[in-house]
């Protein structure tokens, strides 16, 4: 998935900083969709949509799990323990994306919508 | 991710390159498990070639650090790209890992702070 996304972002010539931000945020959302939404079920799919315009880039990631469960997990999420091995993904998504929203997807699973403002691409050091 | 091992005395130096995520983190944990089986518990990770790390990759490193401490060994990191260093700082993991600017500095530290 990341190889495909990397190649696509390269073609869009978004710049290195923006590419890194998007790849990180999408990889976090994809991992959550795979582990927590679809529960590693190989029969299920994860859909990724990318929209690009002059001012912003939007990436949405939808799983086929249960949206209510997904939202509940996010609402009840505690800060990651310093020595914990999990729990940092959503914090990183919120840090690097300009906007993160969660809603019900068309398949009843969780849809994560992340937005990146193109004028902010210089905020991340590479 | 690619893992290449070099040895300097009792220290295993692993050159990591590529992406550190869920699958490559598991691969790294397996590699280090084999080192523990050979009683090698002083481990240095040179991250020069790591172009991408996400929370799953960080989680693997935390797991390795805890296992190393349990084995009374040491884990050091060096040569983090700015982008990777920034993620360590955002997540505050920079406070619990021994991170050095260069591999030389990290290896020199083993002279003064040996493994437990």
- Interface of B to A at Cβ within 8 Å reads 19, 21-22, 52, 54-56, 58-60, 62-63, 66, 81-83, 86-87, 90-93, 95-96
Element (H or E) spanning A100, and its range? strand A99-104
- In the predicted model, is pLDDT for residue A15 greater than 90? no
Q: What is the three-class DSSP state of B92?
A: coil
Q: Select the more confidently predicted residue: A20 or A2.
A: A20
CATH number at residue B108: 3.30.750.24
Phi, psi of A107 (to 5 degrees): -90, 10
Neighbouring C-alpha atoms within 13 Å toward the C-beta of A80: 20
Q: Which among A84, A89, A125 has the least Cβ separation from residue B83?
A: A125
Neighbouring C-alpha atoms within 13 Å toward the C-beta of A52: 10
pTM, rounded to two decimals: 0.89
CA dist., res. A66 & res. A104, Å (int): 9
pLDDT mean over A35-58:
92
The total number of structural domains in chain B stands at 1
- In the predicted model, is pLDDT for residue A126 greater than 70? no
Which residue is closest to B59 within chain A, CA to CA?
A85
Q: What domains can be seen in chain A, in order of their start residue?
A: 2-123 (3.30.565.10)
Q: Chain A: nearest CA to B52, how far in angstroms?
A: 8
Tens digits of per-residue pLDDT, A75-115?
888 888 899 999 999 999 999 999 999 998 888 899 999 99
Size of the A and B interface in Cβ pairs below 8 Å:
59
Query: Is the complex ipTM more than 0.90?
Result: no
Spans in chain B with pLDDT lower than 50: none
DSSP for residue B2 = E
Chain A hits for B86, Cβ within 8 Å: 124-125
- In the predicted model, is pLDDT for residue A45 greater than 90? yes
Tokens representing A19 are 């590419």
Chain B hits for A31, Cβ within 8 Å: 21-22, 54-56
**What per-residue confidence (pLDDT) applies to B99?**
98
Domain that holds residue B107: 2-112
Q: Beta-strand (E) ranges in B54-97?
A: 74-78
Residue corresponding to tokens 């939404």: A37
Predicted confidence band of residue A124 (pLDDT cuts 50, 70, 90): very low
Task: Average the pLDDT over each of A57-61, A70-74, A95-99 and give the range with the smallest value.
Answer: A70-74
**What per-residue confidence (pLDDT) applies to B114?**
57
**What per-residue confidence (pLDDT) applies to A80?**
85
- The answer to whether A7 faces chain B, any CB pair under 8 Å, is no
**What per-residue confidence (pLDDT) applies to B19?**
94
Q: Which among B21, B55, B86 has the least Cβ separation from residue A88?
A: B55
**What per-residue confidence (pLDDT) applies to B113?**
61
**What per-residue confidence (pLDDT) applies to B116?**
57
């Amino acid at each position: 998935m990341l190889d495909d996304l990397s190649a696509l972002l390269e073609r869009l010539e978004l710049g290195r900083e923006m590419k890194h931000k998007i790849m990180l945020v999408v990889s976090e959302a994809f991992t959550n969709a795979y582990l927590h939404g679809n529960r590693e079920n190989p029969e299920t799919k994860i859909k990724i949509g990318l929209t690009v315009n002059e001012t912003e880039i939007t990436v949405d990631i939808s799983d086929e799990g249960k949206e209510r469960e997904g939202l509940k997990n996010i609402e009840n999420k505690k800060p990651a323990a310093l020595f914990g091995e999990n729990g940092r993904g959503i914090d990183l998504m919120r840090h690097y994306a300009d906007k993160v929203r969660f809603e019900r997807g068309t398949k009843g699973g969780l849809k994560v919508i992340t937005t990146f403002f193109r004028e902010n691409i210089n905020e991340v050091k590479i | 991710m690619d893992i290449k091992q070099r040895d300097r005395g009792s220290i295993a130096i692993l050159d990591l390159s590529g992406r550190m995520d869920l699958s490559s983190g598991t691969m790294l944990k397996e590699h280090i498990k084999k080192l523990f089986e050979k009683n090698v518990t002083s481990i240095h990770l040179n991250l020069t070639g790591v172009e991408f790390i996400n929370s799953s990759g960080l989680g693997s490193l935390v797991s390795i650090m805890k296992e190393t401490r349990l084995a009374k060994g040491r884990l050091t990191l060096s040569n983090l790209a700015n982008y990777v260093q920034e993620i360590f700082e955002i997540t505050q993991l920079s406070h619990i890992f021994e991170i050095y600017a260069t591999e030389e500095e990290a290896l020199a530290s083993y002279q003064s702070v040996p493994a437990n």
